[in-house]
Structures are given as structure tokens and as C-alpha cells.
Amino acid sequence: MNRGNAGDAFGGHRFADPDLLRQALTHRSAGSPHNERLEFLGDSLLNLIVAEQLYLRWPRADEGAMTRVRAELVRESTLARIARELEVGDVLTLGPGELKSGGHRRDSILADALEAVIAACYLDSGFQACRALVMGWYEPLLDALPPLHQVGKDAKTRLQEWLQARQLPRPSYELLAETGDEHDKTFLVSCTLEQPAMAAEGSGSSRRAAEQRAAESILEQLA
């Protein structure tokens, strides 16, 4: 993925109006103009773009299946993961309090900023440019979606079924680390297979989320 930066370009889009980008990367704690209104618009644009892609890619999927997958793709943790890959935290403008409390690492702040950038791109250059920006981030996630019959099953369930179908031992999960303040913890978990012998790690704001990400990483290795 293309890295963000604090100039007039971000994540693959060069802004004709750099002020829009600066506003998108400004948290309300830093004063006005901040990114809350942009985040509202960006949320709707992201849902539309992802819904459009699922509709085109899965011509036989029903509404329920597409709704469940869209929810996974646009949820806060997914957006925060993309934002971290783009190093959004490094270019955010935060007030002193949020900066001191580690706001540049918080999932909610990162996810909101990414949605604000989507809206800023739309206002700057229109829907086609906005779609291109989002698809640059989401193409790998869409390409990695499970087969339609597995939609709605989480990574741990899909890994368990893969192993059971081959009569292989169940995976084991181990908590490796737990860091951060009580209200903003990060969990690091490992997922280990006996057969085939492999292991992967995953992190998240809860132990369950970290286990899911570790299982997803194993599934990517098995693909």
C-alpha cells in the first residue's frame, strides 16, 4: 500500500485542495476545522463502494450474505488496520490530551480519519477518484474473501473446518502479550498448527480479535 504523508498526497491520491486533506487528518481535540463531518460522509461513501464491489463480484449472493461481508470489511478494526498500514497515526493532528494518551494508536481515531480522507478525496476530485482510492486499499481484502458458501463464518471457524476436513489436529492459541492502558489494550496472540507445521501471530483490541487475525494469517498461508 502507498504510504500517507503530511503534504498534498495521501494513500495514492494527490489533492488539488491540500486543505481538505489537512482537515481530514485533524481530530476534534485539535480544534476546528476538524474531521467529524468528513468522517460522516466518508462512512457512507465507503459503504457504497464496498457494496458495489460485492454486488459485482458475487452475482449469486443474497442480500444477507453481502450485508454480513460488508460489515466485516467496513468495521472499525478493519479500517484501523488499513490506517496503520498507511501510517495514518504519524500524520494525524491531535490535541495535547489525545496526543499524550496515545490517540494516534487508537482504533476509533484511526478509522474515523481514514473515512474522513475518503470524503476529502470525493470532495476534491469526485466519485471516480474516490472509488480508485478506496479500491487501492481494499482490492487485496476483496480478493482474499472466502468462497460464498463460507460467508459469515469467522476465521477461527474456517480454520477449524479446514483441519477437520483433513482429519488434522486442532490449532492452539496462546496469549503472547497484553500491552497498553486498561481502556486501550492491545493483545498479541499466536496460532500454531501441528500439521502442517506452521504458526502465525495476530494482534487486536481484544483477545478474541487477536485470535481471529492469527487464524486469518494461517488461512492465508494455507491458501
Please check whether residue 184 is in contact with residue 102, taking contact to mean a CB–CB distance below 8 angstroms. yes
Q: Which of 39, 107, 115, 124 is catalytic?
A: 115
Please say if 115 is a catalytic residue: yes
Q: Are strands 172-179 and 13-14 parallel, antiparallel or unpaired?
A: unpaired
In 3D, which of 106, 48, 53 has the Cα closest to residue 79?
A: 106
CA-CA distances (angstroms) from residue 201 to 25, 57, 174, 206?
30, 30, 9, 14
> Within the chain, how many helices (H) and strands (E) appear?
9, 5
CA dist., res. 184 & res. 20, Å (int): 29
In 3D, which of 168, 124, 133, 174 has the Cα closest to residue 16?
A: 124
In 3D, which of 27, 214, 2 has the Cα closest to residue 106?
A: 27
Please say if 17 is a catalytic residue: no
At 109, list the grid cell: 481515531
Q: Which of 43, 112, 124, 211 is catalytic?
A: 43
Taking only Cα atoms into account, the Rg of the chain, rounded to an integer number of angstroms, comes to 19
What is the set of active-site residues?
43, 115
